[in-house]
Structure 1
Amino acid sequence: MKILTIGDIFGETGRQVIKNYLPQLKKEYQIDLTVANVENTTHGKGISRKHYWELKSYGIDIMTSGNHIFANEETRKLISEVPDLLRPLNSNPYHPGPGTIWTKIKGKKIRITNLLGTNFMPLATENPYFALEKILNLQDWDLHLVDFHAETTAEKIALSLYFDEKNVAGESKKISALWGTHTHVQTADERILPKGTGFITDLGMTGPYSGVIGAKPEVIWQRSKYGLSAKMTPQKDNGQFNGVVWEFDDNNKLISIKRINKVF
């Protein structure tokens, strides 16, 4: 089983990279399931109905998100109508849409869970440890994948190590892989933790390469040097692709992690 996870798709450039590169990548690695974080898909913040269907047409199976998921008002209705768009499980309980879902691929039941970090996040959220522990009680999967949309490296590492310690060989009550999103810079720390959980601090970003985490540098200079407000206008260039391929054997054991970082 080979699962491709794609770092935050940012704006028009990110969508174009997915259109041009994803079919080739899926064929090259013989991908069975594609999961992408899409909270920055529409002009760098949120995802519109139009862009949701655009990404589906390019071959993305499951879409995760983060703190910007409801930046577009229309997403509130969309997320209740489609089966494969997630908002963070531990976000406001009144928010529409699922925080965890499952799908079946090649006879394997795969659960995907989306979590939001608490450090330096502007949203009030439930503790991600408690939220994920509730899901573990379901024990209804062969593989369990977690997108942890969080700001700090330490928070991502701590959560992954905690739940890796809870893994028991031969039981379904475990986390198969946990990856970080949100910071838009791919980290080089992919690894298989002691109890078998796959981990990387951040998948990175699929979108502009020459900007500042997707935005035009001029916008960031206005904010950081002059202290003036400025709209986060997406940078436009040929783009980059960031993601990871996770390979599991027939016994649901993670056997390899392949980090992909391609600049066009």
Structure 2
Amino acid sequence: MPRAVVLNTASKANTTGGTFADTLSANSGDSLTIPNLQSGKGRILRMWGIDSDSVAEVAMTAGRVESVHDPQFGIRFNLQVAGLGGAGLVAGLPMLEPPNYIDVFTGDALTFTCTSTAADDIVVSWLTEYQDLPGVQAGFATWQSVINNRFTEIGVRCAPVASATPGAYGTSRAANADDTRWTGGRWYAILGFTVQIPVTTVSFKGPMWGNFRFGASAGGPFLYTDNYFLQLSQWFNEPLIPVFNGYDAGSVLLEVADGEASTSPKVDILAVECLNNPMVG
């Protein structure tokens, strides 16, 4: 079945403030609508967010009671600000963590409403798995398949910068723009990454993944991201480690979005170099 793992982000800079007075909008290139699926069903694997200025509460609603309990407040999440250094420093907080997940259904649309203080900046990102998204066959592997094909390990610098508008993605940067050591003909399984500065969301995108984003948070509680995709694969017992060929490194694009403007986290991509293609499915 055509399979995809898709990252979406919704945000709002300079909120009005008040009790559930603001609604987040999808970032450019992202969507709040669940696409048409052959099975009619997908699932959100992970979700994180931040209010970069003060405490906030986010309510996620949808049209199906099998997804969220009701259309009034659905699932409510608090975003605290006091821990891990305070406002403007945390970058991302967990909202939904494995092994828990949220079912989503064809044609439904997610809505995120927020309680905040006026002039806050709020960002929410989530990772959704679709087992049968028509027209897409994304390249992911299991950890066992990566081990079976392992040759060596590499860490490669890529330095995307967040937008000057809080919450929005900055300019995309190719995985070989700052470090060209990817080898053509070898296969690379991305286990995770590390950063110098916490950032809300790190996005990867390329034709080998259906030109959909996938990614992770590098907020304060998530700074063990060196094995992020490996752990996600093990939690759900599915091929969730992204794979690409070294010849295609220039087509692997990184973007970052943050609750603060123009954040430059300086991403080091951690990958296993494989002698053969470790992809499953």
TM-score (norm 2): 0.23
TM-score (norm 1): 0.24
Higher strand share: 2
Higher helix share: 1
